[in-house]
Chain A
Amino acid sequence: MNTTSPSMAQDAVLQRGEARLVHEGGLHARPSIKVTKLSKRFQSRVWIGLSPNGPWTDAKSIARVMAMKTPINTTIHFAAEGEDAERAVRALVALVEGDFVDTPDDAS
């Protein structure tokens, strides 16, 4: 179990978002790296999960994100906590919805 998972106590300050994964092959190596690299641009803690209730995976850990082996047509959930959490979630949702075509250069 990931000890950095968002707790119920923190729920009020969590930013959340979700996006449908339509990428052929699912969240394989390259899209996983894009998710991780984008997450790392933000100061906030960022999690990724396959349900709104978790379990949550640290979105900044490339090994863990790849290990999820998320298939195509899955709804991916994001949660973030921190000053730039809202921007982080928005950027990640846009990345998945945009089918990983390009990582936004401007995270703001």
Chain B
Amino acid sequence: MKEADMSKNVGIVIVSHSSLVAQGAADMVRQMVGDEVPLAWCGGNPDGDLGTNVPAICNAIEAAWSERGVAILVDLGGAETNSEMAIEMLTDKRRAKAVVCNGPIVEGAVMAATESSGGATLEQVRRAAEELYRL
């Protein structure tokens, strides 16, 4: 899929305390959904231990950025608060196009990416990521 085509789709960012979890979830997205969705992941603290850190999340958001927006899937506590902090650090224009989804990190990432691959809006992608909690 060409870069130009990918930018039409909402990006997906996966933020876990564990780099293995984040990478594994990203693998599932790539293998199950495909490569037409911008995707980035981060996990672990700067020492390589379990944790999350804001600069890594900022880099992931940048890597998966799309003008359609970016949906962030997180696991526990700090993954969410640090992702919110990373969103705060974005420019005003970009801040409105980044959301943290209230859904399961693995399943939510796959479902959000499936929705995004069809050209859905950021709000539709967020809803897909959160739909499991509403069924």
Contacts and interface: CB of A to CB of B under 8 A. Distances in A.
A33 B32 contact: yes
Nearest to B111: A62
Interface residues of B, number: 15
A36 B11 CA distance: 18
Given A62-B128, A63-B128, A33 B114 contact: yes
Given A29-B32, A30-B32, A63-B128, A37 B118 contact: yes
Interface in B77-135: 110-111, 114-115, 117-120, 128, 131-132, 135
Given A29-B110, A33-B33, A63-B111, A41 B118 contact: yes
Nearest to B34: A37
Contacts of A29: 32, 110
Contacts of A37: 33-34, 114, 117-118
Size range of the chain A interface in the assembly? 10 to 19
A36 B32 contact: no
A64 interface: yes
A67 B132 CA distance: 9
A75 interface: no
B54 to A, nearest CB: 30
A33 B110 contact: yes
Chain B interface helix/strand/loop/mixed: helix
A30 B113 CA distance: 13
Contacts of A90: none
Contacts of B119: 40
A30 B119 CA distance: 19
Interface in B55-91: none
Interface of A: 29-30, 33, 36-37, 40-41, 60-64, 67
Interface of B: 32-34, 110-111, 114-115, 117-120, 128, 131-132, 135
Given A37-B117, A41-B118, A62-B111, 10 more contacts: A33-B114, A36-B114, A36-B118, A37-B33, A40-B120, A60-B118, A61-B131, A62-B110, A62-B114, A67-B135
